[in-house]
């Protein structure tokens, strides 16, 4: 009898994105080698879900607003906080974390499970296949423009290009910028958030003064051009939304849509040189 070689799904210890499965750990993480991320000075390291669980890492599920929950593991990979949005047609998991465990699966199942999974961009892929498998192979929607960054493909994954309603009241759209396929989710009928909620990932990022910013790389502070920021602002300027959440639980609002437009103009003024006389 031929013994089958054991294969493993690997996680980059820095970004928390899954790779494989394969018998040997990968040599490199293309996501971390890209200028938008980084390989630590100590070098590339790999881990697994089982190793993280054995080390005491856990996934938390906490309420954020009515029918909106944060699902995350702060000390795993980049540490994103996924948004779990409850709709009448099933729940959306937006920006899945780089860890899953039995307790979080049971908690999410008690909240209605998961009907669709979306990452705003490749840094947020996390262990999206594991979350899908835990919920009856829930579809995982991948922006076609960024599909080359997926490290583990499963039959549940499907690509998309045009805006569409992924679940009742939630429209996905690609605004670009941080990544060509950077995706936002517009939740048009939240129960207690006024005119709507925008889940923005890294595409539009809340900052300390109550405004937002736009960057190609957050850890490396690489800016976007004035033209790209104008394009993003014009794209989301078609919508009305009172609150905006990023992928780390930060938020702005009410009147978040107006704040985004004001912040975009501030950004454009600085990177275009309009404010050079102040420097």
Q: Are strands 81-87 and 90-94 parallel, antiparallel or unpaired?
A: antiparallel
Domains of the chain: 8-51 (no CATH), 52-271 (3.60.15.10)
* Predicted local confidence at residue 269, as pLDDT: 98
* Predicted local confidence at residue 1, as pLDDT: 38
SS3 call for 198: strand
* Predicted local confidence at residue 2, as pLDDT: 37
Burial class of residue 170 in the structure, from the number of CB atoms within 10 Å of its CB (0-12 exposed, 13-18 middle, 19+ buried): buried
Q: Which of 25, 24, 18 is nearest to 5 (CA)?
A: 24
Write out the chain's pLDDT in tens, 279 residues: 334 457 899 999 999 999 999 999 999 999 999 999 999 999 999 999 999 999 999 999 999 999 999 999 989 999 999 999 999 999 999 999 999 999 999 999 999 999 999 999 999 999 999 999 999 999 999 999 999 999 999 999 999 999 999 999 999 999 999 999 999 999 998 876 578 999 999 999 999 999 999 999 999 999 999 999 999 999 999 999 999 999 999 999 999 999 999 999 999 999 999 999 999
* Predicted local confidence at residue 192, as pLDDT: 66
pTM of the model: 0.95
R_g over Cα of the chain: 19
């Amino acid at each position: 009898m031929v013994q089958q070689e054991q294969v493993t799904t690997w996680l980059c210890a820095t970004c928390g994105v899954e790779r494989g499965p394969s018998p040997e750990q990968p040599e490199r993480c293309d996501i971390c080698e890209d200028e938008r991320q980084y390989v630590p000075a100590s070098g590339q390291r790999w881990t697994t879900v089982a190793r993280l669980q054995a080390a005491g890492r856990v996934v938390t599920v906490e309420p954020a607003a009515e029918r909106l929950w944060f699902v995350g593991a702060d000390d795993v990979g980049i540490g994103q906080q996924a948004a779990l949005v409850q709709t009448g047609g099933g729940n959306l998991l937006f920006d899945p974390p780089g860890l899953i465990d039995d307790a979080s699966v049971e908690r999410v199942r008690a909240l209605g499970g998961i009907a669709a999974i979306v990452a705003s961009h490749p840094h947020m892929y996390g262990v999206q296949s594991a979350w899908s498998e835990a919920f009856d192979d829930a579809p995982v929607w991948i922006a076609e423009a960024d599909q080359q960054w997926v490290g583990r493909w499963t039959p549940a994954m499907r690509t998309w290009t045009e805006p569409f309603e992924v679940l009742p009241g939630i429209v996905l759209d690609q605004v670009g910028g941080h990544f060509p396929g950077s995706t936002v989710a517009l939740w048009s009928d939240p129960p207690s958030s006024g005119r709507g909620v925008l889940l923005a990932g890294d595409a539009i990022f809340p900052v300390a003064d109550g405004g937002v910013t736009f960057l190609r790389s957050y850890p490396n502070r690489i800016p976007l051009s004035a033209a790209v920021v104008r394009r993003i602002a014009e794209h989301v300027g078609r919508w009305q939304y009172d609150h905006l959440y990023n992928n780390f639980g930060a938020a702005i609002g009410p009147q978040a849509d107006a704040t985004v437009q004001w912040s975009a103009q501030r950004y454009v003024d600085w990177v275009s040189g309009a404010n050079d006389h102040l420097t």
